[in-house]
Amino acid sequence: MIPEKPPPFWPKISERVRHEAVTARVGRILGIAFTLCFFTGLYSHYQYHPTTVVPIPSLPSWGYRLTQGIHVITGMVCIPLILIKLWSVYPKLFSWPPFKTMLQGLERLSILVLISASLVELTTGFLNILGWYPWPWAFIKVHYWLAFVIIGSIMLHVAVKLPIIKRGLATPLSDVPEQDPEVGGITRRGVLVAGGVGAGIVTLGTVGQVVTPLQPVSVLSVRQPKNGPLGVAINITAKQAGVVKLAQAADYRFEVMGPKPFMLTLTELEALETEEKALPIACVEGWSAMGHWTGPRLLDLVKRAGGNGDSHVHVLSVQKAGPDHDSKIFGPQMRAALLATHLNGVRLPLDHGYPLRLIAPNRSGALQTKWVSRLEVT
């Protein structure tokens, strides 16, 4: 008598449901998500390295909030999508011998580059959102250059596979078997639903960090945008930045260097003419929160120091080190910026940059320097 085999631990997946019609469709969504992620990423990179030829506009004020929200959400959605895509071609990845012709060998090599670069890009991007950098290399450089490697290998991949992609997209999904009756196990629809639910959870779980009314469902948001003093999140506290004493020092002076340099005490600073603006803080990590900021216009201070609307301003804080301890601003952003003393009608809390912080429209959060003590106008 033949002993009965125990049922398999994993559901058996029929080879027939790994169909090019499925791969092509998942690939199309992945391609759209990656392209959006790529261009919003390039824009974000430009925010940090703008040129005088094309200065960053100040309108719409929520521009960076939108583009960086899209960047982080599309990037996260790529994670479940790439897993389904890999599932749909999985046996092919391990087919043996690795190649029959030189050309085929090169093509498989390019796929290896594409997959590994994408997985590194997505996981490190995700860990960066968590504020965790467990590697020795410079995140931004690697994240930036890998994106080009990926976009290049995607274009190559699409060009090589174009006939199969066309055939796959032309095949109606209803023609693809749901399940191999001889094998049983998980159905094609089952895999797609699981993937769709995964992508949906990721989107809903993060979109609330940009679209604040959806914040309660955003269980995956690392920083809840409204969870902080005066309903605005904190990226780095005064304690973490090591400025608790410096920012509250009795001898604090605000210095403006330029053709006509001047210096103000805290009392003089607080007596300046002010303006109020509703502007978001939009962090590179994807969260953003709206605030009502009040303070003197940067341009007024620049003019008083002998500069004008075309001046470049280096904004420095009492914090002497750290990646975001200073920033540079010019063009429309500079002309629309405030040096805020108040947030939502209240004197700035220490963690939001007391006594003075830069806030400009359509600007990356990391460049909204807190604890400002000095401007250099050129």
Ligand X SMILES: Nc1nc2c(c(=O)[nH]1)N[C@H]1C(S)=C(S)[C@@H](COP(=O)(O)O)O[C@H]1N2
Positions that interact with ligand X (CB under 6 A): 232-236, 241, 281, 283, 317, 319, 322, 324-325, 352-353, 365-366, 368-371
Q: Select 23 or 40, whichever has its Cβ closest to Mo ion.
A: 40
Extract the tokens encoding 304.
């008083």
DSSP string, 253-318: EEEEESSS-EEEEHHHHHTS--EEEEEEEE-TTS-EEEEEEEE-BHHHHHHHTT--TT--EEEEES
371 backbone dihedrals φ, ψ, rounded to 5°: 55, 45
Least distance CB 118 / Mo ion (angstroms):
25
Q: Dump the DSSP string for 14-44.
A: -GGGS-HHHHHHHHHHHHHHHHHHHHHHHHH
CA-nearest of 158, 127, 157 to 142 is 127
Q: Given candidates 122, 366, 367, 377, which one binds Mo ion under the rule CB under 5 A?
A: 366
Which amino acid type is present at position 342? Answer: H
Q: Residue 186 pairs with which residues in a beta bridge?
A: 13
Q: Which entry of Mo ion, ligand X, none binds 25, CB below 5 to 8 A by partner kind?
A: none
Q: Is the CB of 121 or the CB of 324 nearer to ligand X?
A: 324
Q: How buried is residue 132: exposed, middle or buried, by Cβ count under 10 Å (0-12/13-18/19+)?
A: exposed
184 CB-near residues (< 8 Å, 6+ apart): 12, 14
- Site residues for Mo ion, 219-238, by CB under 5 A, read 235
Q: Is 365 one of the binding residues for Mo ion (CB under 5 A)?
A: yes
- Which residue lies nearest Mo ion, judged by its C-beta? 283
Least spacing, CB of residue 231 vs Mo ion, in Å: 17
Size, binding site for Mo ion by CB under 5 A? 4
Contact partner, 322, from ligand X, Mo ion, none, Cβ < 5-8 Å per class: ligand X
**Applying CB under 5 A, does 283 fall inside the site for Mo ion?**
yes
Q: Which is nearer to ligand X, 79 or 230 (CB)?
A: 230
The residue at minimum Cβ distance from ligand X is: 365
Q: Which is nearer to ligand X, 69 or 353 (CB)?
A: 353
Q: Does 241 bind Mo ion (CB under 5 A)?
A: no
Find out whether 41 and 71 touch, Cβ atoms under 8 Å: yes
Residues that bind Mo ion (CB under 5 A): 235, 283, 365-366
